[in-house]
Amino acid sequence: MNGLNRQGEMDMAQSLSPREEQNASTDVRSLEEENRRLKERLNSYSIIFERSLDAIVILNKNGEFVDVNEAACKLFEMDKFSLIGHSFSSFLELVPPDILLFQRSMLQKFGSFSDELLIKLPDGKVKHVEFSMKKDVFDEFDLVMMRDISAHKALERERIIHEFLFRDVFNRAVDGIVIFDEFGRFIDVNPAFSMSLNLEKGKLLNLSFQQFVARECANEFARLLAEVKEKGTAKGELSLVRPDGTVKMFELTATSNVYSGFYMAIMRDVTERKNMEIKLQKSEERFRAIFEQAHEAILIWDDFGYILNANPAASRTFELPLNLLVRRNLFDFVDYGDEKVKRIFSEFRRKGEIRDELTFHMPNGEDKQLEFTMKKGAIDGYHLTIFRNVSERRKIERELRESEQKFRSIFDHAMDGILLWDAKHRIIDANPVVCGIFSVEKEALLGRMVVELVPERARRQLNKLLQQCQRTGEASGEVEFFDEGKGRIIEFSLKKEVIPASG
C-alpha cells in the first residue's frame, strides 16, 4: 500500500510543472508554519490554563468535569483524575434548588452568567466561590472560572458584625458619642448626646462643636482638635452651652480615623459630678471657715491622744499657742487616773461618741470646767472633740437665741414657702407663704400629713418625692394637679433633717 502511495506521489510530481511544484512546496511550508504556530498557541493556552490562579473547569452537557486546571484541584481539594467525570452538582447541595434553576435559566438565556455559590467538599468543608460561566465555549462544552472568596466573605461578615456591634453600642451607650470631621462639624451623634444637648439628631447634624463650646473653653477645644489630628488621641474637659442657655460639662476622649477618616469623641456628662465637687469644695471651705472661726474650741486627735489639729478658739481655751498645742497630748490636760475620766474615755471607745464635762488643767495653772462632745473617727479616721467653757454658757445661749430669731425671721419672711415636718411626715411648722399657696391658716396645717396638701390624684407624685428624700436625704420635683378647676404646678424641694427631728 505504501508503495502504491509513493508511486502515486511520484506520478503526481512527474505530472506537475516546475511552477506548480514550486507553489505546492510553498503551500506545504505555509501549512507547516501555521501548524507550528497553532501548536505554540495551544501550548500557551495550556500553560495559561494550568497556571491560572483562578480555578478553571470544563463541563459537558451533563454537568460533569471534562477537564480542570491545578487551581481547580486545589479549590475542590481533589486530584485531577478524581475530579474528571465527577458531577459539579454534587458539590452544590447547600445551594437552594430555586437558585440553581435561576442560574441555569440565565445561562441559557444570555449564554454567560456570573454569580456566587457555596460549594461543599466531600470532607464537609464549605467554601464560598465567585464564578463566571460561559456556554458552549468548546463545541458543546461549557467553561467555568471560579475564585475562592471564603476569606473575603469571612472578613466581610466580621466587618458587618463589628459595624452592627458598633452601631448597637453607639445607640445604647450611656455616654454621648460624636463622629465629627476635621473642622468640628457633626457627622453622627448618638441618642445620649442628643439628650444631653436637648436637641434632635437631625438638627445637630447641621451644626458643629464650635456652636456649643462655651466661650471660656474655645482655646481648649482648639487645642484638643489640634492634638487629635497630630497624635491620634486627645483627652480633656469641655463645657457646652445648650440652646436654653444651661451649661453641660463633659469629659472628652477623642480618637482619629475610627470611621471613614472621621474623628470620634466619647463625651461623658460630668455636670452633676462637677456640681457635687463644687458643693463639696464649698462644704469643705465652710467647714474650714467654721473650724477656724468657731467660738468653741475644736481639737482633732488620734487614738493615742496626740493632738493633730486645733482651731484658734482651742488655743485660747487651752492657754497655749497653736504651734505648741498641736504637739501636746489631750490626756496631759486631765487626771487620767481619775475614775470619771477612765469611765468617760472607756464609754467613748465603746460607743464612738460621748458628751460630758470634765475639769481640764491648763499650762498656766488655771483649771477650767469644759463641756465637750467627742466623735470617734469623724475626720479621716481621727477623733473630733468640741469643747465649750461652761462659764461662757450664758453668752452662747444668748447667741443661740439670736440665731434662732434670725432663722425665724428668715423663715417667716422668705419669698418661697418653707414647711417643716417630722419623721412621720406630720407638719410641725409652716411659713406664711405656704399658707398663702394652699389658702389655709397655719393652725389648720399643723399636725396634718404633708401629702394632704395636694388633691388625692396628685398625692402619688408627692409620695414619690417624700420616699426619695427619705432614701437619699433630698429630692426635688414638680407636682401638677387641678384645684377648683384650675391646673396648678407646685415645685417641691425637699431636704431631710435640716433641723433635727424634722424635714
Is pLDDT of 24 > 80?
no
Q: What is the pLDDT of residue 403?
A: 83
Is pLDDT of 240 > 90?
yes
Backbone phi and psi for residue 287, each to the nearest 5 degrees, phi listed first = -60, -45
Q: What is the pLDDT of residue 2?
A: 43
Average pLDDT over residues 156-180: 79
d(CA 383, CA 381): 7
Secondary structure tally for the chain: helices H, strands E = 17, 19
Is pLDDT of 460 > 50?
yes
Q: What is the pLDDT of residue 194?
A: 92
Q: What is the pLDDT of residue 20?
A: 66
Is pLDDT of 171 > 50?
yes
Name the band, by pLDDT with cuts 50, 70 and 90, for residue 4. very low
pLDDT in tens, 41-78: 656 556 667 778 889 888 888 889 988 888 889 989 99
pLDDT in tens, 202-221: 999 999 999 999 999 999 99
pLDDT in tens, 417-439: 888 888 888 988 888 888 888 88
d(CA 203, CA 253): 23
Fold for the domain defined by 157-274:
Beta-Lactamase (3.30.450)
Is pLDDT of 170 > 90?
no
In angstroms, the Cα distances linking 185 to 201, 228, 287 are 13, 15, 46
In angstroms, the Cα distances linking 99 to 65, 121, 223 are 21, 19, 57
Is pLDDT of 129 > 70?
yes
pLDDT in tens, 326-352: 889 999 999 988 899 999 999 999 999
Q: What is the pLDDT of residue 213?
A: 92
What percent of the chain lies above the pLDDT cut of 70? Answer: 87
What DSSP string runs through 297-310? EEEEE-TT-BEEEE
Give exposure, 160-192, as e/b (b: 16+ Cβ within 10 Å).
eeeeeeeeeebeebebbbbbbeeebebebbbeb
3-state secondary structure of 127: strand
Is pLDDT of 123 > 50?
yes
The DSSP letter of residue 131 is: E
Q: Are 370 and 360 spatial neighbours (Cβ–Cβ below 8 Å)?
A: yes
Listed in sequence order, the residues at least 6 apart from 236 whose beta carbon sits closer than 8 Å to its beta carbon are 220, 223, 224, 251, 252
Is pLDDT of 479 > 70?
yes
More confident residue, 247 or 28: 247
d(CA 277, CA 275): 5
CATH code given to domain 294-396: 3.30.450.20
Is pLDDT of 82 > 60?
yes
What DSSP string runs through 327-362? TSBGGGGS-TTSHHHHHHHHHHHHHSEEEEEEEEE-
The DSSP letter of residue 16 is: S
Architecture of domain 52-148: 2-Layer Sandwich (3.30)
Name the band, by pLDDT with cuts 50, 70 and 90, for residue 395. low
| Average pLDDT along the chain | 84
Q: Picking from 30-44, 82-96, 138-152, 432-446, which range would have the lowest pLDDT averaged per residue?
A: 30-44
More confident residue, 283 or 91: 91
Is pLDDT of 306 > 90?
yes
Among 3.30.450.20, 3.40.50.280, 3.40.50.300, 3.90.1150.10, what is the CATH number of 414-495? 3.30.450.20
* CA neighbor of 194 nearest in space, from 170, 214, 165: 170
Average pLDDT over residues 294-300: 89
Name the band, by pLDDT with cuts 50, 70 and 90, for residue 253. very high
Q: What is the pLDDT of residue 351?
A: 92
Name the band, by pLDDT with cuts 50, 70 and 90, for residue 5. very low
Q: What is the pLDDT of residue 220?
A: 92
* CA neighbor of 425 nearest in space, from 404, 405, 461, 449: 449
What DSSP string runs through 173-195? -SSEEEEE-TT-BEEEE-HHHHH
Is pLDDT of 6 > 60?
no
